[in-house]
């Protein structure tokens, strides 16, 4: 943040405070605090960006303030932290009771992705520009890492905005809200394929980020004890100054390739909502309708590189030179709650959602150029050259439900509900899905010191599939589509259990426990995820008089398991010695066989914290946290008739293993009445191991099939010692 902007915000704060004091005849009182401090850190890491990914730990000063004002007519609040640093936040709010209220905010954040030389390096030069040439056109020289460019991956995000609401002591009100989010950086990571096949290599591309989103909202409404009604309009505009990145592609004869990013777009939403209270049977009727539209336009890439040389371009022949995007959404919700009897409450609801896509239907006629297109929704090329077409995705959702709650004797409550969702969509694999949920819940707050809750839910989902006859026979790659299902449409039986327990048996002692269990069983298909299961348990205990001391212990453990089944085909088309190789139900061969995987994750965390007021002037506080995550994948291949496996598969023992430890003590001392001195220290250790990063290399492969990696996220381990101190004046 610049000094000019800080001065403007502080001036605004003082002016608003002065106005409030001058106009409030009841005597306006200001109270709060402001202070300054400093921070220093020592870090041990190959790539220090991981410890500073979302925070600024650089050595230097910072400021803080928390000011509040109260009077008979006016009120005022101002808060700011980390002033002068990359993760600064400021908010100013206030108003006149019953007449108006306002707020202003500024939120600054720098997202660090990687620091050079280990966490950010590239064979391209001119990092931060829209055109990236390689430093050499010699493939052997490109593997010389010492000649690569080192830089910092980082993006600055700045969010500045505010709102104003006026009611004038009447039931009517108007609210205006707006903000602007601007992101800018030297680069951000994006991976691009160098060729037309995974074996052709890929590259981590650093591209410039220069885009902003401006939002404005206006709402007017009426609020009374009998009900509420409002109308809202939102306009959002996204502007990107970096829609295209041109980079030299070694696979295509070092020609200049093109990568595209988000185009400019405009979003509009109009909504109306209302509520009626005090209806018969103590009923409440509420509803909401919305209409929104997003539009954009983008220039089509008219030519692509050809493998025959850097100067040879192949036309894509788009049916329109400009893509004009237009997606419209319409929603409607209505809810009706009633008290049918003294101890019986009910709620019925209905939700409607329609997404309509009328964007330009672009067709690329590549048949004349001899290129192969990928059929929509598949990952296998068509058997013959076909025009490349897009897919305009749209859908309609109808959701209805009913819930009831019975207040039994004492503090016992029993509730149950039924929910049904029907989805009709424009998609190649499934046109319609029906989903039903039923739940029952018991809760008890009979004793003031005890709260307990238990819930069970069952979900049943079935879909209409359009790929049951895919592929002309088992020699076609599309034949596999008969046996695969996407997660969001797969037939599913789900069991969900939640339990909650909170107990305070004696004064200053609090006990808590929470359990969560979910199991998904996918039905009616052979390949893909068979089932997954998750269990989570949380427990806490806290004891102590806050005036003397307070200790707390929290623990959490989570178990996750995924079971899946897949097929490998190392030949296409099927060889004559092994016909019908795309049928997973036939016996295995050396080139076509099924295999299964079982992924297990165990995550746990334990935290201890304490607060100890030693004297009226000295307080000690601190916390210690240990987190661990352990992942493992076991594989098993299909077996031949003699019992030998079709392939030798070995487990992965290091599958996203994480360990984090931190200790953070601090002391707060009041040397005199209005001064507060804080001194703190934090130690952090983070370790990450994953099989995919073992033996990390910046280049993979040789010749034109080489991949070029940046090092981002490759070296996240770190140890850090962080010390800080601040002096705050309290008034």
How confident is the model at residue 472, as a pLDDT? 86
Of the pLDDT bands very low, low, confident and very high (cuts 50, 70, 90), residue 632 is: very high
Whole-angstrom distance, CA of residue 4 vs CA of residue 10: 10
How confident is the model at residue 380, as a pLDDT? 44
Question: Read out DSSP for 4-43?
Answer: HHHHHHHHHHHHHHHHHHHH-TT--EEEEEEEEEEEEEEE
> What are the tokens at 15?
């002016």
pLDDT digits (tens, 9 = 90+) for 8-26: 555 555 555 555 555 555 5
> What are the tokens at 139?
């493939």
Of the pLDDT bands very low, low, confident and very high (cuts 50, 70, 90), residue 375 is: very low
> What are the tokens at 405?
């709650």
How confident is the model at residue 9, as a pLDDT? 52
Q: Of 418-422, 556-560, 687-691, which range is least confident? A: 687-691
279 versus 186: which is more confidently predicted?
279
383 versus 491: which is more confidently predicted?
491
pLDDT digits (tens, 9 = 90+) for 304-339: 887 776 677 888 888 899 999 999 999 999 999 999
Mean pLDDT, the chain, integer: 90
How confident is the model at residue 600, as a pLDDT? 96
Of the pLDDT bands very low, low, confident and very high (cuts 50, 70, 90), residue 303 is: confident
Q: pLDDT exceeding 90 applies to what percent of the chain?
A: 74
How confident is the model at residue 462, as a pLDDT? 96
Class of residue 461 by CB neighbours under 10 A (exposed 0-12, middle 13-18, buried 19+): buried
pLDDT higher than 50, residue 3: no
Of the pLDDT bands very low, low, confident and very high (cuts 50, 70, 90), residue 5 is: low
Mean pLDDT of 36-56: 94
Taking the chain, what is the end-to-end CA distance rounded to the nearest angstrom? 27
pTM over 0.95: no
pLDDT digits (tens, 9 = 90+) for 637-685: 999 999 999 999 999 998 889 999 999 999 999 999 899 999 999 999 9
Class of residue 642 by CB neighbours under 10 A (exposed 0-12, middle 13-18, buried 19+): exposed
> What are the tokens at 125?
């030069």
524 versus 91: which is more confidently predicted?
91
Q: Whose structure tokens read 């409450």? A: 345
The CA dihedral of 47, 49, 52, 58, to the nearest 10 degrees, is 80
The answer to whether 539 touches 512, Cβ cutoff 8 Å, is yes
How confident is the model at residue 238, as a pLDDT? 97
Which residues are CB-contacts of 646 (< 8 A; sequence separation ≥ 6)? 588, 589, 590, 593, 595, 637, 638, 639, 640
Of the pLDDT bands very low, low, confident and very high (cuts 50, 70, 90), residue 616 is: very high
Q: pLDDT exceeding 70 applies to what percent of the chain?
A: 93
How confident is the model at residue 7, as a pLDDT? 45
Whole-angstrom distance, CA of residue 725 vs CA of residue 612: 19
Whole-angstrom distance, CA of residue 473 vs CA of residue 586: 13
Among residues 669, 666, 546, 665, the alpha carbon closest in space to that of 617 is found at: 669
Which residues are CB-contacts of 174 (< 8 A; sequence separation ≥ 6)? 165, 166, 167, 218, 219, 220
Of the pLDDT bands very low, low, confident and very high (cuts 50, 70, 90), residue 4 is: very low
Of the pLDDT bands very low, low, confident and very high (cuts 50, 70, 90), residue 372 is: low
Whole-angstrom distance, CA of residue 483 vs CA of residue 473: 13
3-class DSSP assignment, residue 643: coil
Mean pLDDT of 423-442: 94
């Amino acid at each position: 943040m610049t000094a000019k902007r800080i001065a403007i915000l502080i001036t605004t704060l003082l002016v608003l405070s002065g106005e409030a004091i001058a106009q409030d005849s009841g005597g306006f009182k200001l109270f709060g605090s402001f202070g300054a401090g400093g921070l220093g850190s020592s870090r041990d890491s190959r790539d220090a960006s991981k410890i500073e990914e979302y925070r600024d730990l650089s050595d230097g000063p910072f400021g803080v303030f928390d000011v509040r004002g109260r009077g008979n007519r006016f009120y005022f609040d101002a808060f700011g932290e980390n002033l002068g640093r990359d993760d600064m936040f400021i908010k100013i709010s206030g108003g006149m009771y019953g007449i108006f209220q306002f707020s202003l905010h500024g939120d600054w954040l720098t997202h660090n992705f990687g620091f050079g030389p280990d966490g950010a390096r590239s064979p391209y030069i001119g990092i931060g520009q829209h055109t990236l040439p390689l430093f050499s056109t010699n493939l052997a020289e490109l593997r010389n890492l010492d000649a690569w460019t080192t830089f910092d991956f980082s993006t600055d995000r700045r969010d500045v905005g505010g709102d104003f609401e006026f009611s004038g002591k009447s039931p009517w009100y108007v609210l205006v809200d707006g903000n602007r989010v601007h992101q800018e950086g030297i680069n951000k990571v994006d991976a691009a394929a160098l060729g037309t096949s995974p074996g052709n290599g890929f590259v981590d591309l650093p591209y410039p980020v220069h885009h902003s989103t401006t939002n404005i909202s206006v709402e007017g409404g009426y609020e009374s004890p009998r009900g509420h009604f409002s109308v809202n309009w939102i306009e959002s505009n996204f502007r990107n100054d970096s829609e295209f990145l041109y980079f030299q592609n070694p696979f295509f004869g070092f020609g200049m390739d093109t990568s595209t990013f988000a185009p400019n777009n405009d979003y509009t939403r109009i909504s109306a909502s209302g509520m009626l209270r005090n209806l018969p049977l103590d009923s409440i009727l509420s509803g909401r309708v919305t209409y929104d539209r997003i539009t954009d336009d983008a220039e089509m890439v008219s030519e692509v590189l050809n493998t025959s040389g850097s100067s040879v371009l192949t036309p894509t022949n788009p049916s329109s030179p400009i893509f004009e995007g237009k997606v419209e959404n319409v929603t409607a919700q209505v809810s009706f709650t009633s008290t049918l009897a003294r101890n019986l409450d009910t709620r019925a609801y209905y939700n409607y959602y329609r997404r309509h896509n009328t964007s330009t239907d672009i067709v690329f006629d590549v048949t004349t150029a001899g290129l192969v297109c990928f059929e929509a929704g598949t990952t296998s090329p068509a058997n013959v050259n076909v025009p490349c077409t897009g897919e305009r995705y749209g859908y309609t959702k109808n959701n209805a439900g009913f819930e009831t709650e019975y207040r039994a004797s004492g503090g016992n409550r029993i509730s149950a509900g039924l929910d049904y969702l029907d989805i009709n969509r424009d998609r190649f694999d499934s046109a319609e899905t029906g989903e039903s949920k039923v739940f029952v819940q018991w809760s008890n707050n009979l004793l003031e010191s005890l709260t307990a809750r238990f819930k069970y839910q069952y979900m049943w989902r079935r879909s209409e599939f359009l790929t049951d006859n895919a592929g002309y026979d088992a020699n076609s790659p599309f034949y596999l589509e008969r046996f695969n299902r996407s997660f969001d449409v797969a037939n599913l039986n789900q069991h969900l259990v939640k339990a909650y327990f909170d107990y305070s048996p004696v004064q200053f002692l609090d006990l808590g426990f929470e359990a969560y269990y979910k199991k998904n069983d996918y039905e009616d298909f052979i390949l893909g995820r068979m089932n997954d299961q998750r269990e989570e348990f949380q427990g806490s205990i806290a004891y102590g008089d806050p005036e003397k001391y307070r200790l707390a212990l929290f623990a959490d453990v989570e178990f996750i398991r995924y079971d899946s089944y897949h097929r490998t085909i190392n030949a296409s088309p099927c060889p004559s010695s092994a016909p019908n190789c795309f049928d997973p139900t036939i016996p295995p061969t050396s080139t076509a066989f099924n295999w299964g995987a079982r992924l297990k994750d165990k995550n746990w965390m334990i935290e201890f914290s304490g607060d100890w007021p030693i004297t009226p002037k000295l307080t000690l506080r601190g916390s210690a946290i240990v987190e661990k995550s352990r992942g493992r994948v076991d594989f098993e291949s299909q077996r031949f008739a003699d019992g030998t496996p079709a392939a030798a598969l070995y487990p992965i023992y290091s599958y996203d293993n994480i360990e984090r430890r931190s200790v953070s003590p601090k002391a707060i001392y009041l040397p005199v009445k209005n001064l507060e001195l804080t001194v703190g220290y934090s130690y952090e250790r983070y370790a990450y191991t994953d099989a995919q990063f073992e033996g990390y290399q910046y280049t993979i492969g040789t010749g034109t099939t080489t991949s070029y990696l940046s090092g981002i996220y490759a070296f996240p381990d770190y140890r850090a010692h962080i010390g800080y101190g601040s002096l705050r004046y309290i008034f």
